[in-house]
Every structure is written in structure tokens, then in C-alpha cells.
Structure 1
Amino acid sequence: MKKFEANSLEEAYELAKDEFNCSITNLEIEIDQQPRKGFLGFGRKNAIIKVVEKQDRKVYDNKQKEHRFRKKDIKIEDVSKKIEDSNKVATQKEPTLKKSHKKVPNIHSKEKIFDNFYEVGDKQQINEVIVKKDEQIILNEVKEGIDSLFSNTCYEIEDIKVEFYDNETLYVEFTGADSALLIGKEGYRYKALSYILFNWINERYGLMLRLEVAEFLKNQEESIHTYLEPAIATINEKGSFKTKPLDGILVHIALKRLRDEFPNKYVAVKTNVRGDRYVLVNEYRSKEQ
């Protein structure tokens, strides 16, 4: 039996037909792997088939008893499980802990996950669950997991930086010639990568995430801070303000900036009838607009 690999099943069949120099009807074909376009540029797979001429089938069946796994590109949807498995041994051998971190409860909605990157939720409603992990162990495990995720991709990425941004937040930074490709049109790949990393880091270590890719986050913050300067002056003068509709991470950056600037005011993300999201600043607990 021979194995053939190609971009599609049709191409793989042609390779097999040429190799055996016979009609495809005279071949026994077993599909070992279906082709896959991947998700957001990750996890692309070729078609793989196993082929034997029909007259040789019985001989092969007597010899072949087990299916061997062949390592291929990583699926985005399997990343969390792969990272968990790779760290099981390290988790069982952890030393006495130096520091502890508060764990935020699991969040099932994608939008709520993304909201929590910038602490949209009410901190007073967070249940405190202690995750006993030394900081260096956390950094080592997260670094190993992310390196494993990108080890088999075609992207040219420099050494991925993982460090603590503050006591409750991990800072992860991607740089390199192809790092900007991880942002995607209008930041859709950035947001997808953020979902994956945040969901894993938050669930396992109880930490928030600050993700920087090719200075995308820095540029977005600078842009929204420039927009908010006159807004802050208006709030100081009139006491309230409603931002323009903001997309993606801009709404979360604006929320954090305005909450830091006006801790004694009511600052929240709202949605209008068209589904656009904006930030409302008002007197605390006063009538919402």
C-alpha cells in the first residue's frame, strides 16, 4: 500500500492512478485525511489517501493492523487541549507557590470574553478562587504553549514575548516579518487569536490578557485616546457624554480610559437600535440615555 498527498482528493487520485498505471476502479482507496482550508489562515491540511491494487488488498490487510498518526498543521479549535496535555506533567510537579492569583469565572459568550480583556464586567461580582501558581511557572507554561501553537505554521515570527503586565494580567507580544498577518482585515484575526488565548489563560490561571501584535494594540490606543481628549473636556464641563459608535477593541479601550478618568461617574458600554456599540458617561446611577 502506498500513501499519496495532494491539495485535493482529486489530485491525490490522479497521483495514485499514474503511479499504479491503471484505472482508478482497479484500486482500493482509503482516505486517511480530508483536505481542509483551515481557519483564519491556520490549520490548513492536504488530502492524504492510502492506495493498494485490489488484487493485493488481502495481503495488505493481514499485515496492516494499526493506524499510525501523522503529525500535521495545528487546528485552532484543538489548541486549548493540546496546550493542556503538554503541561500535565509540569502541573503535577509544581513546587510550593510564591504568589496566588484571583480567578475570573468562566465566560461562555464570545462577546463577553472579549469584553473582559478590558475589564468591562463588574469587579465586585467576581467570585474569588485562588489558583496556586508561581509566576515563573505560569510564564513558562504559557510561553511553551504559544510556541507549540505556532511551531508548525509558515509565519515568520520572532521569539514571542510573555510577561506579567500587572498582578492580574499577562502581556503577550508577537513581532517579526509576518506578525502583521495575524491582525487580519479590520482586526478579525487579532480578535480570534485573542479569544483563543484569553479563554485558555483565564480558565487555567485566572488571569486577564493584553495582546500586542505588530503594535496593533498600541496604534489603536493612541487613536482612541486622541479622539477622547475633547470628549473628556466636554464631560468636565457638562457632566455627561456619549461616544460615537466604536468597533472592535476601540470600544473597550475607550471604556477603560474613561473609567480611569472618571472613577466617580457611571461609565458603561451601550448598544443602540442598529446594534452599534458606544460608551456612555453619566452621573453615577442617574437615568441612562
Structure 2
Amino acid sequence: MKDQIKIEASTLEEAFQQASAKLQCSINDLDIKILQQPSKGLLGIGKKNAIILVRCKSEEEKQPETQLPEIPVEKEEKEIFDTFYQESKDLHAIAKEVETDINDLFRGMCFKLEPVKVEPYDDGTLLIEFNGEDAALLIGKEGYRYKALSYMLFNWINPKYGLQIRLEIANFLNSQEEMIANYLKPLIEKIQIEGKGQTRVLDGVLVQIALKQLRQAFPDKYVAIREKDGGKYVIVNEFKKN
């Protein structure tokens, strides 16, 4: 048996090509053992390269119609998200399907997570909960990774089912909402007296939470996000009169 070599590459196709070049052997004449399937991970985390153990077949082993090992088509997040049935389902059935597929997505990744829970939050919203030892890694600095994951999940669930999502990771959203609510209390009192006001510059997901809470507090006023010198804040004012 000829010597085997180990090849690591981003995809199986690249690994096969590298092996063919190094062994100076046609891909059809390679004896390939796949040690690790490639994975893109999620948001750049948990990415895995393809790893193969390969050798050139001897003359006796070569067959006129050698078949390459089947290369599984890697399921990207969007492809996984598109596997749901098209027919209408009740909210609890949708929640169960979403829960199953999110858990399938994270099962092969290097996170220590409890099973993800998905349940109806209200008639138009799904509550998605991540907990576990590594859950905080999904939040990221200033909540940027949280925001990216929330965006990805929303762009899967909303077009499919017309539902909103509430993403809770290790109680992050709840604690941020409580913090902003405490910060906004004196500001809301000031706006009730003066008719207008604005928040300080807020980071990451905080500006979206403040926007939501101020719109709930002042449904008849103009509430919007403004940006200055790279920072974002929320303003509250009267609607302009024609």
C-alpha cells in the first residue's frame, strides 16, 4: 500500500485538488478517507476545515469507472432555514419546528449550550432562549454578535411565517431592558413636562431597546434614532404640523 498523506482545506473539493497535485495522481485514482467534514460555523464561530487521509491507488486497484466518494452538500444557515413545510401551522407547531432546526444548527458547533427553547411569546412573536456555559459567547462585545444572530433569525422566521422574534441569550435582553428602563425614567418625566428630549449616545442593541420603550411611552410623539459622530441616540419630539 502506498503511503497516505493528510490534507486539510476549507472544502472537500479543495482538499481533493491539493491531494491530486501533491501525489501527482488523478482525482479519480485517489483512495480517500474523510476524517472531518467541513463546517462554516455560525457568525464565524465553530468553523471547521475538511480533513482527508488520501493515497494514490495501485494499478491493481484502479477501475475504469471509479466513483468518487459522495460529497455532502454543506447546508448553510439559509438552506437549513428553508426546509420548513409551506402549509399553514399553528404557533405552537411553528415554535416546535423552529426549536428543532435551531438545535440541529448548533449541535455540531463547539459551544456548551443547553437545548435551545422556542415558544410563543404573544400572538405574533416567538421567544427564542439560549442558555448554557458558552451562551455569553453568542452575545459578543456590546451585543454586536447578539444583534447579528437576531438579524439572521428574524430574516429566516419573518418571511416564512410573518412572525417577530424575541431573542434571549443568558438573560441578556431582559437585563438590558431593565437597565434602559431605569435610565429612561427621569428622561420620560422630563419629556412629559417639556414635550421633547433625547437620550445619551447608546451602544449596540441598547439604542433599539430605548427606541422601543420610548415609542411605547409616547405613542403620539415623533420618536426616532439619530446619529452624530458615529454614535446613535434617540430623540422624542412633537410631530411637525403642516
Q: TM-score range by the shorter chain?
A: 0.7 to 0.9
1:165 equivalent to 2:121? Answer yes
In the TM superposition, what is the alpha-carbon distance from 1:3 to its structure 2 partner? 7.4
More helix per residue? 1
Cα distance, 1:56–1:84 mapped onto 2, change above 3 Å: same
TM-score in terms of structure 1 length: 0.67
Matched position secondary structure for 2:58: helix
- What per-residue deviation string (whole Å, max 9, x for no partner) do you get for residues 227-249 of structure 1? 11111111011110011122211
1:243 equivalent to 2:199? Answer yes
Matched position secondary structure for 1:137: helix
- What per-residue deviation string (whole Å, max 9, x for no partner) do you get for residues 180-201 of structure 1? 1111222222122112111100
Could you tell me which of 38, 45, 48 is aligned with 1:45? 48
Query: 1 CA distance for matches of 2:77 and 2:59?
Result: 37
Query: 2 CA distance for matches of 1:224 and 1:255?
Result: 10
Contact 2:144 2:205 in 1 (8 A): no
Matched position secondary structure for 2:64: helix
Could you tell me which of 215, 219, 236 is aligned with 1:259? 215
Q: What does residue range 207-286 of structure 1 map to in structure 2 within 5 Å?
A: 207-272=163-228, 274-285=229-240
Amino acid aligned to 2:221: K
Counterpart of 1:100? none
Cα distance, 1:182–1:26 mapped onto 2, change above 3 Å: closer
Contact 2:46 2:110 in 1 (8 A): no
- What per-residue deviation string (whole Å, max 9, x for no partner) do you get for residues 3-35 of structure 1? 7355899xx9xxx9xxxxxxx965538598997
In the TM superposition, what is the alpha-carbon distance from 1:206 to its structure 2 partner? 0.6
Higher relative contact order (CA 8 A, sep 6+): 1
Query: 1 CA distance for matches of 2:72 and 2:158?
Result: 31
Gaps of at least 5 residues in structure 2 are none
Cα distance, 1:57–1:4 mapped onto 2, change above 3 Å: farther
Contact 2:5 2:55 in 1 (8 A): no
1:28 equivalent to 2:56? Answer no
Cα distance, 1:35–1:65 mapped onto 2, change above 3 Å: closer
In the TM superposition, what is the alpha-carbon distance from 1:164 to its structure 2 partner? 1.3
Contact 1:270 1:278 in 2 (8 A): yes
Query: 2 CA distance for matches of 1:41 and 1:261?
Result: 38
Q: What does residue range 108-257 of structure 1 map to in structure 2 within 5 Å?
A: 132-257=88-213
Amino acid aligned to 1:80: K
Matched position secondary structure for 1:62: coil
Q: CA RMSD in A?
A: 3.4
Gaps of at least 5 residues in structure 1 are 17-23, 95-131
In the TM superposition, what is the alpha-carbon distance from 1:62 to its structure 2 partner? 3.0
1:81 equivalent to 2:79? Answer yes
Matched position secondary structure for 2:203: coil
Cα distance, 1:143–1:25 mapped onto 2, change above 3 Å: closer
Matched position secondary structure for 2:236: strand
- What per-residue deviation string (whole Å, max 9, x for no partner) do you get for residues 19-67 of structure 1? xxxxx965538598997885544351224346333x7379446353243
Counterpart of 1:62? 64
Cα distance, 1:8–1:236 mapped onto 2, change above 3 Å: closer
Cα distance, 1:61–1:252 mapped onto 2, change above 3 Å: farther
Contact 2:43 2:149 in 1 (8 A): no
TM-score in terms of structure 2 length: 0.79
Percent of paired sites with the same residue:
47
